[in-house]
């Protein structure tokens, strides 16, 4: 075996030997092992992959009882690894729960003429990142399975708990399985990956980085690969699978693996599959738990503290801002709401004009972008326009009273940054950002950060003594989901140690002062539209996400621009 120390080499051999013996014993069971049934079906009504036809097979073990929903195994590329026979034996021996197998072939768009070629959707469906394949399985295939009956007429009932579901495959089918669990850990908590295609075909090479940075998910993963696997234009499969294992281990995932010397085939995967199933289902029904994550995540997150919904469901919740008391104001339903210290939500400013971005100033007033005016609201709700002719989107009010406003336009030339001085004089500062959105100041207020929602950049400007800006750079490099062309960066905020928090399509991306994303914190409803630190101690992060507002207590303390500046420690370079 190449590139392995003697200890790792012999360790891998022993693991492979153990699992091979286990497989051999599972291949020679007592004759009384009940044999399940396998039925074949065709699905051709997909809305997620329109025009495709998929063959799929459903395995039902003899022990299945319709009175109790069965666990589920989903396999790509049809029936692999001698799975039905393996399941028969492991279910009979009590080494895995009663599980219904659903084995799905990738789709084809059938050609319209005999001389034309079908469109083969395998790479598109399997190698692509994002939630489409998970949606296809969860919203289309599994509901179809539950419409079927067994050969003797029993209805098929599947568990809808992710803890009761496993998904697996080989090559591109393996990355499809991992992606389904990564995108929907609530639906799949166990993954079998053989000779996985975690390389540069459709973005799979990004997984090791994302695994290290993202808050860990409750997924248990078994990996298999061999040193003679593919090494072609897309990447090196053998090295990529080892990188996946190291990333999962670093982030604290429950991960196991068997390395060998085989090539891009299913021989070793078939040998280790029974042992992999035993390990993936071990301790069931105890739930799979998530690891602690990277040291950077552990500096921010508190164990046991998760996102909690605040209030109800709103129409387009966005633009959260904290006042000096830690109360949070946000916009939704064409209104402005307030989250009090007790967590109760109430209307903050009845009759106020519809606003977009908002921020509190050192004078306690709430400044908002409203149409082509910048308005200031005092504690009584009385409003006054402090600047006109600025169609602003977001703003931040500095401790010295200066107000910076982003005004995105249809083009980069019309997307602007404005300065409003304490006496109301406005000053145009900068243009050229494609779509200037979220804006905030560094904790020491020496730098101004501006998010470009239509790229993967957050700009950094040095604030000059007169409030103008200099030395603008595309400084913070954000991650972009495979399903979008930009990060969608919206609201920004900072903590007292200098980290920048960006609301993006992938969740909350947290960067160090050197401009590097250190960690990503997903939010339950997906794309994040706004962020603010609130609470009495400014140690609660509030995020607007779709129609919901979420809160989460953290270890760090937010830095508010209206407060006195503080100088953080230098970044770790």
pLDDT at 571: 84
pLDDT beyond 70 at 7: no
pLDDT tens digits for 394-411? 999 999 999 999 999 877
Distance separating alpha carbons of residues 137 and 168, to the nearest angstrom: 13
Q: How many CB atoms lie within 10 A of CB 485?
A: 10
Beta strands across the sheet bearing 469-477? 436-441, 447-452, 457-463, 469-477
Q: Provide the pLDDT confidence category of residue 380 given band limits of 50, 70 and 90.
A: confident
- Inter-residue contact 265 to 40 (CB < 8 Å): no
Q: Looking at 99-152, which runs of residues are DSSP E strands? A: 99-104, 108-109, 119-120
pLDDT at 352: 65
Distance separating alpha carbons of residues 157 and 100, to the nearest angstrom: 9
Q: Which of 9-29 are b and which e, b meaning 16 or more Cβ less than 10 Å from the residue's Cβ?
A: eeebbebbeebbebbeebeee
Q: Provide the pLDDT confidence category of residue 161 given band limits of 50, 70 and 90.
A: very high
Q: What is the mean pLDDT of residues 220-227?
A: 98
| Beta pairing class for 220-226 and 254-260 | parallel
How far out from the chain centre does Cα 497 lie?
25
Helix, strand or coil for residue 486? coil
Q: What is the mean pLDDT of residues 317-344?
A: 93
Distance separating alpha carbons of residues 499 and 511, to the nearest angstrom: 6
pLDDT at 412: 63
To 5 degrees, how large is the angle CA 397–CA 401–CA 404?
40
Distance separating alpha carbons of residues 367 and 365, to the nearest angstrom: 6
pLDDT at 32: 84
Q: Provide the pLDDT confidence category of residue 322 given band limits of 50, 70 and 90.
A: very high
pLDDT beyond 90 at 315: no
Helix, strand or coil for residue 315? coil
pLDDT beyond 60 at 14: no
pLDDT tens digits for 288-307? 999 999 999 999 999 999 99
pLDDT at 11: 40
| Beta pairing class for 383-388 and 548-553 | unpaired
- Give 494-519 as a DSSP string: EETT--EEEEETTEEEEE-TTSBEEE
pLDDT beyond 60 at 35: yes
Torsion, Cα of 435, 530, 316, 348 (10° steps): -120
Structure tokens at 528: 């994040």
Rama region for 81: left / alpha / beta (φ>0; ψ in -120 to 50; rest): left
- Inter-residue contact 463 to 447 (CB < 8 Å): yes
Distance separating alpha carbons of residues 261 and 9, to the nearest angstrom: 11
Torsion, Cα of 185, 148, 90, 220 (10° steps): -10
pLDDT tens digits for 503-523? 999 999 999 999 999 999 999
pLDDT at 316: 86
My answer on whether omega of the bond before 380 falls inside 30° of 0, hence cis, is no
Rama region for 319: left / alpha / beta (φ>0; ψ in -120 to 50; rest): left
pLDDT tens digits for 416-459? 999 999 988 999 998 889 999 999 999 999 999 999 999 999 99
- Inter-residue contact 33 to 89 (CB < 8 Å): yes
Backbone angles phi, psi at 18, to 5 degrees: -60, -45
pLDDT at 423: 82
How long, in residues, is the chain? 573
Long-range contacts of the stretch 461-464 (C-beta < 8 A, 24+): 461/430
Q: What is the mean pLDDT of residues 298-317?
A: 94
Q: What is the mean pLDDT of residues 33-62?
A: 97
Distance separating alpha carbons of residues 179 and 74, to the nearest angstrom: 13
SS3 percent helix, strand, coil of the chain, rounded to 5, is: 20, 35, 45
The closest alpha carbon to 215, from 259, 252, 245, belongs to 252
pLDDT beyond 70 at 229: yes
Secondary structure element (H or E) that encloses residue 182, with its range: helix 172-183
Give Dmax over CA atoms of the chain in angstroms: 90
Q: Provide the pLDDT confidence category of residue 217 given band limits of 50, 70 and 90.
A: very high
Alpha carbon distances (Å) from 134 to 76, 105, 399, 540: 12, 14, 47, 32
pLDDT at 111: 94
Backbone angles phi, psi at 305, to 5 degrees: -95, 115
Distance separating alpha carbons of residues 121 and 28, to the nearest angstrom: 38
pLDDT beyond 60 at 2: no
- Inter-residue contact 103 to 56 (CB < 8 Å): yes
Q: Provide the pLDDT confidence category of residue 22 given band limits of 50, 70 and 90.
A: very low
Helix, strand or coil for residue 19? helix
pLDDT at 194: 98
Question: Distance between terminal CA atoms of the chain?
Answer: 37
Distance separating alpha carbons of residues 521 and 513, to the nearest angstrom: 18
pLDDT at 158: 98
């Amino acid at each position: 075996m190449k590139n392995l120390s003697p200890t790792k080499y012999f360790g891998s051999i022993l693991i492979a030997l153990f699992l091979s013996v286990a497989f051999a014993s599972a291949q020679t069971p007592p004759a009384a092992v009940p044999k399940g049934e396998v039925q074949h079906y065709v699905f051709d009504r997909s809305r997620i992959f329109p025009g495709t036809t998929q063959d799929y097979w459903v395995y039902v073990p003899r022990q299945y009882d319709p009175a109790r929903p069965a666990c589920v195994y989903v396999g790509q590329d049809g029936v692999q690894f001698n799975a039905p026979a393996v399941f028969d034996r492991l279910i009979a021996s009590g080494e895995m729960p009663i599980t219904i197998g659903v084995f799905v072939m990738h789709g084809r768009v059938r050609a319209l003429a005999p001389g034309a070629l079908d469109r083969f959707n395998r790479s598109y469906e399997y190698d692509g990142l994002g939630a489409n394949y998970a949606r296809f399985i969860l919203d289309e295939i599994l509901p179809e399975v539950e419409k079927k009956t067994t050969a003797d007429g029993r209805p098929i009932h599947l568990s809808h708990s992710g803890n009761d579901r496993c998904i697996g495959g080989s090559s591109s089918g393996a990355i499809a399985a991992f992606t389904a669990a990564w995108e929907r850990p609530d639906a799949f908590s166990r993954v079998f990956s053989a000779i996985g295609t975690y390389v540069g075909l459709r973005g799979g090479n990004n997984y090791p980085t994302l695994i290290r940075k993202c808050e860990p998910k409750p997924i248990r993963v078994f990996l298999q690969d061999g040193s003679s696997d593919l090494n072609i234009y897309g990447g090196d499969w053998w090295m990529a699978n080892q990188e996946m294992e190291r990333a999962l281990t670093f982030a604290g995932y429950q991960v196991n693996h068997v390395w060998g010397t085989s090539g891009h085939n299913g021989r070793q995967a078939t040998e280790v599959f029974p042992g992999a199933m035993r390990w993936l289902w071990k301790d069931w029904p105890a739930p799979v738990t998530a690891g602690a994550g990277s040291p950077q995540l552990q500096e921010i997150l508190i164990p046991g503290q998760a996102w909690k919904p605040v209030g109800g469901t709103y129409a387009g919740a966005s633009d959260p801002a904290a006042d000096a008391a830690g109360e949070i104001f946000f916009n939704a339903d064409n209104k402005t709401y307030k989250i009090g210290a007790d967590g109760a939500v109430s209307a903050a400013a009845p009759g106020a004009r519809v606003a977009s971005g908002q921020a509190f100033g050192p004078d306690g007033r709430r400044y908002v972008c409203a149409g082509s005016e910048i308005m200031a609201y005092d504690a009584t709700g009385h409003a006054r326009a402090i600047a006109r002719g600025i169609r602003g989107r977001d703003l931040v009010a500095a401790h010295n009273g200066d107000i910076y406003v982003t005004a995105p336009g249809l083009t980069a030339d019309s997307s602007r940054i404005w300065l409003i001085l304490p006496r109301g004089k406005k000053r145009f500062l900068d243009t050229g950002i494609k779509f200037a959105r979220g804006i905030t100041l560094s904790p020491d207020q020496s730098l101004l950060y501006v998010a470009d929602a239509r790229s993967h950049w957050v700009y950094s400007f040095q604030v000059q003594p007169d409030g103008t800006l200099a030395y603008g750079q595309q400084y913070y490099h954000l991650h972009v989901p495979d399903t979008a062309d930009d990060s969608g960066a919206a609201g920004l905020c900072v903590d007292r140690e200098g980290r920048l928090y960006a609301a993006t399509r992938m969740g909350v991306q947290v960067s160090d002062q050197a401009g590097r994303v250190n960690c990503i914190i997903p939010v339950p409803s997906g794309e994040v539209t706004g962020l603010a630190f609130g609470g009495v101690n400014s140690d609660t992060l509030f995020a607007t996400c779709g129609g919901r507002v979420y809160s989460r207590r953290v270890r760090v303390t937010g830095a508010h621009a209206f407060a006195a500046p503080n100088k953080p420690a230098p970044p770790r370079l």
